[in-house]
Amino acid sequence: MTTEIERAHSTESGAQTPRMPQTPGGFPARRMRRLRRSEGLRRLTRETMLDPGDFIFPLFVSEVISEPVAISSMPGQYQWPVSEMGRRAEELARLGVGAALLFGVPAHKDEIGSSAWNEQGPVQRAIREMKAAAPDVVIVTDVCMCEYTSHGHCGLVRDGEVQNDETLDLLTREALSHAAAGADIVAPSDMMDGRVAALRAGLDGAGFSNTPILAYSAKFASAFYGPFREAAESAPQFGDRRAYQMDPANGREALREVELDLLEGADMVMVKPALPYLDVLARVRDRWDLPIAAYNVSGEYSMLKAAVANGWLDERRATLEALTSIKRAGADMIITYHAIEAARWLAES
Ligand code: PBG
């Protein structure tokens, strides 16, 4: 694309400084402020719009509680008992929020995370409650082992190391049980190699060839997941996740991750976290045309809430600006804990 300044430059052979187009009076012909003068003009020329239909709201469903439990590190967020999930779905439907993303907090954890594929597990029961209450709300499930394993790692551990290939079978069983319970989309977040292909084969083989996969493709080993681990009770009991999640320094590698997931059959891909990785999001957008999700993670949410609680930021403006920037960088969908409040603000404006 040639800019106005470059065009002006190229007509002046040998000119050292670019010449702006000018009116006879000597004023700049191009005044950028003209289109900013009124809300009507700003709205007309706005490039990026937020729509609650593009929001995905994460929900933590626990089978060990009977009342909602506030998550202290994420003000305004709760662990929900299964019995509340119908009402959660109705609220999302009422506000026009696009989808829910479910995380389970099971009563029982073991070495292999066997609660993950329990038909009566918290996520499986929540899906049925939500579908019965509000069948049109799209349900996405997080497919990972860390909430279900006693050691808190995202896969099977042997000799202190997370085993890639053996984990694929466990993830497949989990995804199948979510699909069987009625999940609309399964979203593997474990970062094992080959998991999209394994899930696709497993789903197709069990009659779920119409269940899409949203792959957490570029998922970085991020400090910003801190508050989530309290919410999902999924902190690793030893070590960290850097041997399977991505190094925050790597942008090109994220493109390779996305490419592999696409080759393996992912229907949609994700960049996570969102705000510290908008450059990665924009590069993925430039390169591919499939739907892209960005995960505005727990730490991004908690930072903003903390600043608001201190009176340092205007909550509504800061939140909507952050969400807009994620959309502008190229996300089609935003997974965000702000979904409910943002949907309310958008309905008011
Ligand atoms: C599970 C998972 C995590 C998040 C989503 N799925 C935690 C992790 O990888 O440690 C983080 C979400 C958030 O911080 O909001 N693997």
Enumerate the H helices of 31-163 as residue ranges.
39-44, 85-95, 122-133
Measure Cα distances from 131 to 58, 80, 121, 183, 320 in Å: 16, 16, 16, 9, 29
pTM, full prediction: 0.94
Q: Kindly report the protein residue whose alpha carbon is nearest to atom 11 of ligand 1.
A: 225
Q: Kindly report the protein residue whose alpha carbon is nearest to atom 2 of ligand 1.
A: 189
pLDDT tens column, 78-118: 999 999 999 999 999 999 999 999 999 999 999 999 999 99
Q: What is the CATH code of the structural domain delimited by 50-348?
A: 3.20.20.70
Site residues for ligand 1, CB cut-off 6 Å: 142, 144, 146, 154, 189, 225, 228-229, 241, 297-298
The residue whose CB lies within 8 Å of the most ligand 1 atoms, and thus the one to mutate among 228, 246, 300, 334, is 228
Rounded to 5 degrees, what angle do the CA atoms 78, 81, 87 make?
85
144 Cα to the center of ligand 1, angstroms:
9
Report, as residue numbers or ranges, the catalytic residues. 219, 272
Q: Domain-by-domain residue ranges, the chain?
A: 50-348
25 Cα to the center of ligand 1, angstroms:
59
Surface-to-core class of residue 267, CB atoms within 10 Å of its CB (0-12 exposed, 13-18 middle, 19+ buried)? middle
47 Cα to the center of ligand 1, angstroms:
31
pLDDT at 5: 56
Supply φ then ψ for residue 231, to 5 degrees.
Answer: -65, -40
Question: Block means of pLDDT (10 residues each) for the chain, length 349 residues?
Answer: 58 57 76 96 98 98 97 97 98 98 96 96 98 98 96 93 96 98 98 97 98 98 94 90 96 98 98 98 98 98 98 98 98 98 95
pLDDT tens column, 219-268: 999 999 999 988 888 899 999 999 999 999 999 999 999 999 999 999 99
What is the C-alpha end-to-end distance of the chain, expressed in Å?
A: 35
List beta partners, residue 140. Answer: 101, 185
